[in-house]
């Protein structure tokens, strides 16, 4: 097995009284794609958001356990959440570009890091857009509003925006769920390229997609991690019946 | 690009961000300003009224007075004159050379004023000033009653029409249109009442005084209508759809549902709207100044002139000497108005809204 | 038989409620029409731009317009930033349902229902007699400059009165900034303050604008708070410093219609002045209401 990037130990999360994640233990390998699958409401998004402490924003969320990235517990009192999020980027289910120009969307991250020099910004914007495989489509209209792009383009722009701050880990919450097949395949291709440099965790409802893009798969059910392993193994030879039922679509 | 640096404790060490810290403290501080203002209003309106209750030194004078009276055999009414003779500065209202004397005079006046508060005669500018609040209070009440008797039915019925009977497109026009009335400055409504309504009603009813409680009340209802309308409409629209559906399912038709289900379910909200409308009218100044005639008469006749509490402050504050008894009495009236509107609002909020909540949450 | 009876009752109820609506709309229309008809003969460019003449029996109302504009400008400078920041606190920093947030909201609503004359008293007692007189004693050796009614104190008094208007509008529009955008910004490693500056505030510009317009509309029409904080009956010159008194449209109407010796003679001037004030507030409110309904549509 590859080197481990993120190690989750006994992670439990409550929303108020409601238990959303129950005692999750999981090891996410470095520079690989890990897919999170499971029925709606089982806690995939909640789990994903614990990895960059997005759940801190929800007042009712209470968390216990550890999340170690490179052996460093990100829930430690001395961790700077702002800097953590710079290293653990996130792409949301609904594409959410700012109502600014395409250029400014990608430059947003560098700018908040204090980079204001035109040339440097230009370069970051260009490389980020290229890596997100959208450069050719937008290079002539960088000053146009990002809201004028198509849904698929917007989502790739959001990926470019995430790449612009140069994270180590990228979290994706159903990044292609609202997209047409063509845009979806573009994003999948992109994920394939990105995993050479980034550790990627992706939530998906689409079994084929999970099978296509991921190296490892974790199956969640009702806030519990049921099974985790190589995608190939999970999809061809799951050890737990629930997993098999879910994957083959025989789920209640 | 990503050279895959490792996560280390140093690179992610908690950072103190000064701008972040200052922004939060600053914003929080400013937010407290609204509370501070309310407290300051309380403090400063009362602060200017409180000297009225300083009468300690009046006793000394009273004793001396007694002696003088016996000596000179004066009638009790000329009590004030004696003091004036003692220090003529009062007449000119210039700063007295001897602060002690002025203070004493002030306190004597205060004492007299306090005794007259509980009467019906408002006669602040005279040799023997009287500060009876009852005629002002009843005048205000009379105008308020007239205004609410007009505004409440109109506002509530119009709100019922808007929320229950009007089609959506009409509703989206009606609400903002009636809210525009709230944007009419009260001085404009007062001017309209003074110039147009007063003559119109006088021709219609043929009463003697052109400006009176009725004209003032009708004019003030125009200020109260938008408040009552808007809050009632909100209350009616927030009655859960399940209520209406249940009623309709039981075979009640549209208007029956609106009248017997929606309207009663929204009573607390409607009550709150009337309270706030009352508060608005009670403290309304410009309309009162311009349309009520401003005579402090104590009478039940709606067609007599009246003088309201707010109008009294508005008309007299600019003329009084800073810090004298009259000044303090006007601030006392202000304090009463403030307490009244504060109480109305608090009542509307805590009691009514709580009930409304409980009702909709299924008790 | 029973059914027709029910139907008649229904028609009656719809009729009465509909009639109430028409009465209210009718009153609005009548006021507008009467003021327009009464004022239009005198209403002219000349009237708007010239000074009063012959003891205010002739001439225009320029000083009153100037004073009104100055008043609402100074008022906005105070009320808009403070209102916006308070709204920021309520939407971004305060924990929903914390007692602090609840108390602040209660204070704001109280501020909105306190009679406007009380603000006048407060302006007199606090700004003029406490702050102003205090400044005179501390810096000017007791020379009377700030301790008397003037445009600064009047404007600040007015800004307290219009603060709730700003807060409510801005808060409403801040709530329309989608949570997703805030999250996007934070997920990129922006701090809260950066997110506010770059995402929340730009997203609520329309609300700040709406709040300002509604506040100006309110402030331009209020008279009671100005009665003893700085509005003047007549001034031959325009206010040139912050400690000058000023003329203002609403007060001008009040004075001309109730205190002047020859009320009848100046009737056209009074109507025209009222027309100016009504148009001003009406247009401002119209813009504000339209903007606000757009924000509300976005909310849904
Ligand atoms: N802010 C919140 N407050 C309270 N409960 C929440 C909150 N967010 C999520 N939940 C609950 O936690 C559980 C897990 O939610 P989560 O969004 O993680 O599910 P999911 O697996 O991502 O579902 P989906 O596939 O539909 O996105 C759900 O039951 C949800 O109702
Ligand atoms: Mg989800």
A97 chain-C contacts, CB cut-off 8 A: 184
C196 chain-B contacts, CB cut-off 8 A: 23
Q: Chain A residue closest to C95 (CA)? A: A59
The mean per-residue pLDDT over the stretch A191-206 comes to 91
Q: How many beta-carbon pairs below 8 A join chains A and C?
A: 64
Q: Which of C184, C189, C202 sits opposite A82 (nearest CB)?
A: C189
- pLDDT for B310: 94
Please state at what angle helix C151-174 crosses helix C267-299, rounded to 10 degrees.
30
Integer Cα distance of C120 and B280 in angstroms: 16
Q: What is the pLDDT of residues A85-130, one digit of tens each?
A: 999 999 998 889 999 999 999 999 999 999 999 999 999 999 999 9
Please state at what angle helix A102-112 crosses helix A151-164, rounded to 10 degrees.
20
Residue A9 has pLDDT above 90, yes or no: yes
Residue C248 has pLDDT above 90, yes or no: yes
**CATH class (in words) of the domain with range B134-361:** mainly alpha
- pLDDT for A61: 92
Q: Chain C residue closest to A112 (CA)? A: C190
B157 chain-C contacts, CB cut-off 8 A: 16-17, 19-21
Kindly list the partner chains of chain C, i.e. chains with 3 or more CB atom pairs below 8 Å. Answer: A, B
Q: What is the pLDDT of residues C39-75, one digit of tens each?
A: 988 888 989 988 888 777 788 899 999 999 999 999 9
Give chain C's mean pLDDT. Answer: 91
Task: Tell whether A39 is covered by a domain.
Answer: yes
- By alpha-carbon position, which residue is closest to atom 28 of ligand 1? A41
Q: Which of A94, A108, A112 sits opposite C180 (nearest CB)?
A: A94
What global pTM score does this model have? 0.88
Q: Chain B residue closest to A168 (CA)? A: B4
Structure tokens at A245: 């039922």
Q: Which of B28, B47, B222 sits opposite C125 (nearest CB)?
A: B47
Integer Cα distance of C229 and C124 in angstroms: 6
Q: Check if the beta carbon of residue B334 is closer than 8 Å to that of residue C115.
A: no
Integer Cα distance of C18 and C22 in angstroms: 6
- pLDDT for B75: 45
Which of A13, A44, A176, A222, when mutated, tests ligand 1's pocket best, judged by the most ligand atoms within 8 Å of its CB?
A: A44
**Pairing of the two strands B130-131 and C52-53:** unpaired
Give the structural domain span for A101. Answer: 4-247
Task: Tell whether C235 is covered by a domain.
Answer: yes
The mean per-residue pLDDT over the stretch A2-31 comes to 92
DSSP conformational letter for B12:
T
What is the domain count for chain C?
1
Q: Chain C residue closest to A158 (CA)? A: C184
Cα-flanking dihedrals φ and ψ of residue A225, to 5°? -85, 115
CATH number at residue C137: 1.10.3720.10
- Of A80, A132, A160, which to mutate for an interface test with B (greatest number of B Cβ within 10 Å)? A80
Nearest to A85 by CA among A182, A161, A21: A161
- Do the chains contact at C184 and A99, CB–CB below 8 Å? no
Integer Cα distance of C72 and C68 in angstroms: 6
The DSSP element (H or E) to which B131 belongs, if any, is: strand B130-131
Q: How much of chain A, in percent, has pLDDT values that exceed 70?
A: 98
Is A31 at the interface with chain B, CB within 8 A?
yes
Looking from the CA of residue A49, the nearest atom of ligand 1 is: 18
Residue with tokens 């040139």: C240
Integer Cα distance of B353 and A211 in angstroms: 55
Give the structural domain span for C74. Answer: 40-299
Ligand 1 pocket, A60 CB below 6 A?
A: yes
Please state at what angle helix A102-112 crosses helix A118-131, rounded to 10 degrees.
110
Ordered by start, the domain boundaries in chain B are: 18-52, 54-131, 134-361
ipTM: 0.92
Cβ-based neighbour number of residue A178 at 10 Å: 15
List b or e across A56-91, with b for residues whose CB sees 16 or more CB atoms inside 10 angstroms: eeeeebebebebbbbebbbbeeebbbbbbbbbbbbb
Q: How many beta-carbon pairs below 8 A join chains A and B?
A: 47
Cα-flanking dihedrals φ and ψ of residue A140, to 5°? -90, -5
Integer Cα distance of A138 and A147 in angstroms: 12
Q: Check if the beta carbon of residue A174 is closer than 8 Å to that of residue A205.
A: yes
- pLDDT for C123: 95
Integer Cα distance of B216 and B307 in angstroms: 10
- pLDDT for A13: 96
Contacting residues for C23 by C-beta, under 8 A, at least 6 apart? B154, B158
- pLDDT for B1: 40
Alpha carbon distance, N-terminus to C-terminus of chain A: 34
- pLDDT for C282: 93
- Do the chains contact at A54 and C186, CB–CB below 8 Å? yes
Structure tokens at B187: 């001085």
What is the domain count for chain A?
1
Tens digit of pLDDT at every position of chain B (363 positions): 444 567 887 788 888 889 999 999 999 999 998 899 999 999 999 988 888 887 776 666 666 655 555 555 544 444 444 344 333 333 344 444 445 567 777 777 778 778 878 777 888 887 788 888 888 999 999 999 999 999 999 999 999 999 989 998 999 899 989 988 888 999 999 999 999 999 999 998 888 888 999 999 999 999 999 999 999 999 898 888 888 888 888 877 888 888 888 888 888 889 989 999 999 999 999 999 999 988 888 888 888 899 999 999 999 988 888 888 889 999 999 999 999 988 888 888 876 666 665 655 544
Instruction: Give me the DSSP letters along chain C.
Output: -HHHHHHHHHHHHHHHHHHHHHHHHHHHHHHHHHHHHHHHTT-SHHHHHS-EETTTTEE--HHHHHHHHHHHHHHHHHHHHHHHHHHHIIIIISPTT-HHHHHHHHHHHHHHHS-HHHHHHHIIIIIIIIIIHHHHHHHSTT-SSSSS--HHHHHHHHHHHHHHHHHHHHHHHHTTS-HHHHHHHHHTT--HHHHIIIIIHHHTHHHHHHHHHHHHHHHHH--GGGTTTTB-S--SS---STTS-B--HHHHHHHHHHTSS-TTTTHHHHHHHHHHHHHHHHHHHHHHHHHHHHHHHHH-
- Do the chains contact at A82 and C191, CB–CB below 8 Å? yes
> For residue A218, what are the CA distances in angstroms to A41, A48, C3, C144?
15, 12, 66, 79
> For residue C300, what are the CA distances in angstroms to B260, C60, C173?
29, 47, 12
For chain A, give the secondary structure using H, E and C. Answer: CCCEEEEEEEEEEEECCEEEEEEEEEEEECCCEEEEECCCCCCHHHHHHHCCCHHHHCCCEEEEEEEEECCEECCCCCECHHHHHHHEEEECCCCCCCCCEHHHHHHHHHHHCCCCCHHHHHHHHHHHHHHCCCHHHHCCCCCCEHHHCCHHHHHHHHHHHHHHCCCCEEEEECCCCCCCHHHHHHHHHHHHHHCCCCEEEEECCCHHHHHHHCCEEEEEECCEEEEEEEHHHHHHCCCCHHHHHHHCCCCC
Ligand nearest to the CA of A38: 1
CATH number at residue A171: 3.40.50.300
- Do the chains contact at B4 and A168, CB–CB below 8 Å? yes
Residue C198 has pLDDT above 90, yes or no: yes
Torsion sign (Cα): C16, C22, C28, C31:
negative
B184 chain-C contacts, CB cut-off 8 A: 28, 31, 221, 278, 281-282
- Do the chains contact at B15 and A197, CB–CB below 8 Å? no
DSSP conformational letter for B306:
B
Task: Tell whether A252 is covered by a domain.
Answer: no
Which of C 255-274 lie inside 8 A of B, CB atoms?
A: 257-258, 267, 270-271, 274
List b or e across C110-126, with b for residues whose CB sees 16 or more CB atoms inside 10 angstroms: bbbbbbbbbbbbbbbbb
Q: Check if the beta carbon of residue B292 is closer than 8 Å to that of residue B143.
A: yes
Rg of chain B, C-alpha, whole Å: 29
Ligand 1 pocket, A58 CB below 6 A?
A: yes
Query: B299 versus A66: which is more confidently predicted?
Result: A66
- Do the chains contact at A72 and B12, CB–CB below 8 Å? yes
Task: Tell whether C33 is covered by a domain.
Answer: no
CA of A152 to the centre of ligand 1 (A): 25
Residue with tokens 């990895």: A51
- Do the chains contact at A31 and B4, CB–CB below 8 Å? yes
- Closest-CA distance of chain A to residue B5, Å: 7
- Closest-CA distance of chain B to residue A124, Å: 10
Query: B111 versus C193: which is more confidently predicted?
Result: C193
Ligand 1 pocket, A78 CB below 6 A?
A: no
Determine the 3-state secondary structure of B292 from DSSP: coil
The mean-pLDDT minimum among A175-179, B74-78, B191-195, C103-107 falls in: B74-78
Residues in chain B: 363
Half-sphere exposure of B110 (CA within 13 A, CB side): 23
C224 chain-B contacts, CB cut-off 8 A: 186, 285-286, 310, 314
Q: Check if the beta carbon of residue C256 is closer than 8 Å to that of residue B221.
A: no
Q: Chain B residue closest to A195 (CA)? A: B2
Task: Tell whether C178 is covered by a domain.
Answer: yes
């Amino acid at each position: 097995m590859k080197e481990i990037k993120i190690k989750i130990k006994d992670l439990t999360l409550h929303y108020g009284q409601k238990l959303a994640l129950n005692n999750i233990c999981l090891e996410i390998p470095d520079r690989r794609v890990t897919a999170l699958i499971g029925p709606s409401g089982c806690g995939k998004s909640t789990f994903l958001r614990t990895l960059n402490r997005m759940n801190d924003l929800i007042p009712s969320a209470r968390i216990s356990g550890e999340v170690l990235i490179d052996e460093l517990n990100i829930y430690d009192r001395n961790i700077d959440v702002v800097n953590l999020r710079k290293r653990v980027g996130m792409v949301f289910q609904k594409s959410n570009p700012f109502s600014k120009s395409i250029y400014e969307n990608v430059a947003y991250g560098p700018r908040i890091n204090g980079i204001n020099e035109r040339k440097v910004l230009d370069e970051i914007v260009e490389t980020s857009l290229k890596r997100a495989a959208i450069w050719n489509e937008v290079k002539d209209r960088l000053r146009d509003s990002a809201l004028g792009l198509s849904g698929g383009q917007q989502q790739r722009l959001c990926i470019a925006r995430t790449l612009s701050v140069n994270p180590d880990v990228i979290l994706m919450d159903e990044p292609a769920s609202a997209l047409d097949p063509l845009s979806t395949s573009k994003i999948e291709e992109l994920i394939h390229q990105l995993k050479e440099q980034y550790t990627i965790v992706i939530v998906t409802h689409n079994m084929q997609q999970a099978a296509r893009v991921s190296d490892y798969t974790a199956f969640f059910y009702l806030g519990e991690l049921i099974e985790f392993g190589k995608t190939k193994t999970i999809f061809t030879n799951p050890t737990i019946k629930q997993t098999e039922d879910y994957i083959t679509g025989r789920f209640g | 690009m990503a050279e895959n640096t490792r996560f280390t404790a140093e690179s992610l060490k908690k950072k103190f961000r000064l701008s972040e810290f200052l922004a939060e403290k600053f914003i929080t501080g400013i937010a407290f300003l609204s509370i501070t203002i309310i407290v300051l209003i309380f403090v400063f309106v009362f602060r200017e009224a409180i000297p009225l209750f300083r009468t300690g030194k009046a006793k000394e004078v009273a004793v001396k007075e007694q002696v003088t009276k016996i000596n000179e055999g004066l009638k009790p009414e000329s009590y004030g004159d004696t003091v004036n003779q003692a220090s003529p500065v009062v007449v000119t209202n210039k700063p007295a050379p001897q602060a002690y004397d002025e203070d004493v005079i002030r306190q004597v006046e205060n004492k007299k004023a306090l005794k007259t508060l509980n009467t019906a005669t408002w006669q602040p500018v005279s040799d023997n000033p009287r500060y009876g609040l009852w005629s002002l209070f009843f005048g205000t009440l009379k105008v308020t009653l007239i205004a609410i008797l007009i505004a409440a039915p109109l506002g509530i019925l119009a709100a019922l029409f808007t929320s229950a009977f009007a089609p959506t497109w009409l509703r989206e026009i009606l609400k903002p249109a009636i809210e525009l009335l709230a944007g009419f400055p009260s001085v404009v409504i007062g001017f309209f009442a003074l110039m147009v309504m007063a003559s119109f009603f006088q021709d219609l009813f043929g009463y003697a005084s052109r400006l009176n409680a009725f004209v003032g009340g009708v004019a003030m209802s125009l200020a109260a209508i938008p408040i009552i309308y808007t809050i009632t409409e909100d209350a009616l629209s927030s009655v859960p759809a399940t209520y209406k559906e249940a009623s309709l399912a039981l075979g009640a038709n549209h208007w029956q549902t609106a009248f017997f289900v929606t309207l009663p379910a929204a009573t607390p909200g409607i009550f709150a709207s009337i309270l706030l409308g009352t508060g608005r009218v009670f403290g309304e100044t410009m309309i009162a100044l311009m349309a009520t005639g401003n005579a402090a008469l104590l009478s039940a006749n709606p067609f007599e002139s009246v003088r309201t509490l707010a109008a009294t402050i508005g008309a007299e504050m600019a003329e009084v000497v800073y810090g004298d008894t009259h000044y303090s009495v006007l601030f006392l009236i202000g304090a009463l108005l403030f307490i009244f509107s504060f109480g109305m609002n608090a009542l509307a909020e805590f009691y009514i809204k709580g009930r409304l909540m409980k009702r909709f949450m299924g008790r | 038989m029973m059914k027709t009876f029910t139907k008649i009752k229904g028609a009656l109820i719809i009729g009465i409620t509909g009639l109430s609506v028409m009465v209210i709309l009718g009153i609005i229309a009548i006021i507008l029409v009467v003021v327009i008809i009464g004022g239009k003969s005198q209403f002219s460019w000349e009237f708007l731009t010239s000074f009063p003449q012959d003891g205010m029996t002739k001439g225009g109302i320029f000083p009153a317009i100037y004073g009104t504009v100055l008043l609402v400008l100074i008022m906005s400078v105070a009320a808009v930033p403070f209102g916006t920041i308070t709204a920021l606190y309520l939407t971004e920093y305060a924990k929903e349902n914390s007692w602090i947030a609840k108390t602040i909201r209660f204070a704001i609503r109280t501020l909105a229902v306190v009679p406007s004359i009380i603000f006048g008293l407060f302006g007199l007692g606090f700004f003029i007699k406490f702050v102003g007189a205090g400044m005179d004693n501390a810096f000017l050796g007791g020379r009377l400059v700030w301790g008397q009614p003037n445009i600064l104190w009047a404007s600040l008094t007015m800004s307290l009165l219009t603060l709730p208007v700003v807060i409510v509008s801005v808060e409403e529009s801040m709530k329309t900034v989608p949570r997703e955008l805030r999250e996007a910004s934070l997920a990129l490693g922006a701090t809260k303050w950066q997110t506010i500056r770059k995402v929340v505030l730009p997203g609520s510009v329309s609300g700040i604008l709406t709040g300002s317009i509604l506040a100006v509309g309110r402030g331009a029409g209020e008279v009671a708070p100005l009665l003893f904080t700085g509005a003047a009956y007549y001034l031959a010159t325009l206010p040139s410093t912050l400690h000058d008194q000023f003329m203002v449209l609403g007060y001008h109407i009040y004075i001309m219609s109730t205190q002047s010796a020859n009320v009848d003679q100046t009737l056209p001037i009074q109507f025209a002045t009222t027309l100016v004030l009504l148009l001003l507030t009406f247009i401002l409110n119209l813009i504000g209401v339209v903007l606000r309904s757009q924000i509300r549509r976005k909310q849904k």
